[in-house]
Amino acid sequence: MTRVSRNFSDTVEKEALPAVSADVIFASSRFPNYKIGANNHIVNVKGDPKVLSMKEIVARETALLLEQQNRLSVRDLANKFEKGLAAAAKLSEEARLREAASLEKHVLLKKLRDALESLKGRVAGRNKDDVEEAIAMVEALAVQLTQREGELIQEKTEVKKLATFLKQASEDAKKLVDEERAFARAEIENARAAVQRVEEALQEKEQMSRASGKQDLEELMKEVQEARRIKMLHQPSKVMDMEHELRALRVQLAEKSKHSLLLQKELARSKRVKENLSHLYELDGAEVLGSYLRIKPCSDIAPELSKCAIQWYRISSEGGKKELISGARKSVYAPEPFDVGRILQVEIIYDGQLIMLTTTGAIDPAAGLGNYVEALVRKHDVEFNVVVTQMNGVDQPSESIHVLHVGKMRMKLCKGKATIAKEYYSGLMQLCGVRGGGNAAAQALFWQAKKEFSVVLAFESERDRNAAIMLARRFAFDCNIMLAGPDDRASLGT
């Protein structure tokens, strides 16, 4: 009898082993790498540590998507979800291939066990024990392969859930992108329609007659402002053209205002002539903040103004309340910000006779002054170059430049590095336009810092003078103080 050694593959004839079926497909070109541990247990040899399992790949991709979700845009998020969906599909395909490979391994193990069983009946002795040990190893491999199949089934279920989640998220992202795009298109169409309406309105305004009133002008200004806002958002290149058109409209408005004022004065003069009223004086000057009004004799028999008693008043355009303007006893008066929106009246008394002159309408605000003051309010301290013409009622011959500081808490007058006056806003402080002073009254103001100190300051322009008054009163009001001229607080109800 032929002796069978431990290496039975060298001694047993090849014809004794049944051939493996040709229809078996091997998933790999080599046999799995296993080791026999204690008590004949099969131990897996660790592979390359750089190769990640399918579960780890899915977990890592999911964590990256959740981490980037808060900082990606809608479109980038949608693209990321589509990439994740493709990755999930790829993982599902790999799981299917692994399932097929697992099935092939089961077939291979079954045929190997059948071959070993057939070999077991043909050998005896120690070789038979080796064959039985090999059969046990094959059965252990089958058990471990079954466990691995269970893990693959679980991973496949997780991959399907992830694919479903990514597909739904991708559809939601696409829907959100479409909604945002439709909303943006609607906003653009609305803006274009608004621009077209404004351009048509401007063309209609250019064709209007010269008799258009102040109400029509205010509506036009609102439309111009709306057009400026829209074109700055969508067509910044046309903003300068609109600015030029707006300046042209302002020039036309000023001309129409002067023409209307002349017509109103002529109409008032003709009415007085028809009623046989003596017309000795008239008010001359533009009825707008930044100019001055002057009493002008219009008859040879008019008494000299130096021999007359003069007093200016404010009249509310709503209730008709008459308010005395303290200290306004000159033939010239420059309106200040308190006079805007009110009618001015002057009384001339000569030899017991009273003559009253009234402006044709309320005093108009200065163009652009409101926006200029709003820009200055943002500053903590605003400086104005001034000249001191009077100090404590005494004329000052020097014309050196001083600096008036208007701050949020106080006012200060300086000459170079020297401080002449510095006072916080209080109830004793007074500030108003100069009530008299000739043609320069529109550029001068009266400031009483405290009881024993007062000055008359001349500014570089009417705009700076009115801006300083409005700014100081604004800051004082923030400190719960009404800053006004002499006796103005009583007329204002404070």
Q: Are 355 and 281 in contact (CB under 8 A)?
A: yes
The stretch 352-376 carries a mean pLDDT of: 89
- The pLDDT of residue 29 is 43
Q: Where are the alpha helices (DSSP H) in 30-125?
A: 54-68, 74-120
The stretch 260-288 carries a mean pLDDT of: 73
Among 340, 346, 303, 306, smallest CA distance to 322 is for 346
Q: Give the total residue count for the chain.
A: 494
Decide if pLDDT at 173 tops 80: no
Q: What type of residue sits at position 273?
A: V
- The pLDDT of residue 20 is 41
Angle between helices 74-120 and 126-206 (to 10 degrees): 170
The partner residues of 294 in beta bridges, in order of sequence, read: 284, 332
Q: Which of the pair, 114 or 307, is modelled with greater confidence?
A: 307
- The pLDDT of residue 489 is 65
Decide if pLDDT at 408 tops 90: yes
Take residue 189 and report the two structure tokens written for it: 């169409």
pLDDT tens-digit readout, 197-211? 777 877 777 776 655
Q: Residue 371: CA atoms inside 13 Å, Cβ hemisphere, count?
A: 2
Take residue 280 and report the two structure tokens written for it: 């000795």
Angle between helices 54-68 and 126-206 (to 10 degrees): 20
The stretch 155-180 carries a mean pLDDT of: 78
Long-range contacts of 62-68 (CB under 8 A, 24+ apart): 62/162
- The pLDDT of residue 418 is 93
Look at the block and give the residue holding tokens 């104005």. Answer: 384
Decide if pLDDT at 24 tops 50: no
Take residue 229 and report the two structure tokens written for it: 């806002």
DSSP 417: T
pLDDT tens-digit readout, 136-152? 887 787 788 788 777 77
Beta carbons within 10 angstroms of residue 420's beta carbon: 16
Q: Which of the pair, 434 or 244, is modelled with greater confidence?
A: 434
User: Rounded distance, CA 320 to CA 314, Å?
Assistant: 9
Q: Are 356 and 347 in contact (CB under 8 A)?
A: yes
- Please report, for the chain, the start and end positions of each structural domain, with discontinuous segments joined by +: 77-201, 281-363, 369-479
Global pTM exceeds 0.75: no
Q: Looking at mean pLDDT, say which of 109-113, 117-121, 232-236, 295-299 comes out highest.
A: 295-299
Decide if pLDDT at 403 tops 90: yes
Among 84, 93, 95, 108, smallest CA distance to 151 is for 95
- The pLDDT of residue 12 is 38
Q: In percent, how much of the chain has pLDDT > 90?
A: 22
Q: Residue 78: CA atoms inside 13 Å, Cβ hemisphere, count?
A: 10
- The pLDDT of residue 410 is 94
- The pLDDT of residue 101 is 63
According to CATH, the topology of domain 369-479 is: PH-domain like (2.30.29)
Decide if pLDDT at 251 tops 50: yes
Buried residues in 345-378 as b, exposed as e (16+ CB within 10 A): bbebebeeeebebebeebbbebeebeeebeebee
Among 284, 283, 346, 285, smallest CA distance to 314 is for 346
- The pLDDT of residue 277 is 38
Q: Where are the alpha helices (DSSP H) in 208-324?
A: 214-234, 239-274
Tell me the CA end-to-end span of the chain in Å, nearest whole number: 135
**281-363 and 369-479 have identical folds:** no
- The pLDDT of residue 241 is 67
Decide if pLDDT at 366 tops 80: yes
The C-alpha angle with vertex 101 and arms to 95 and 107, in degrees rounded to 5, equals: 145
The stretch 376-400 carries a mean pLDDT of: 90
The C-alpha angle with vertex 389 and arms to 387 and 483, in degrees rounded to 5, equals: 80
Take residue 474 and report the two structure tokens written for it: 């604004």
Beta carbons within 10 angstroms of residue 192's beta carbon: 13
- Which class is 281-363 in CATH? mainly beta
- The pLDDT of residue 17 is 41
Q: Which of the pair, 439 or 209, is modelled with greater confidence?
A: 439
Decide if pLDDT at 398 tops 70: yes
Among 101, 196, 217, smallest CA distance to 148 is for 101
CATH of domain 77-201: 1.20.5.440
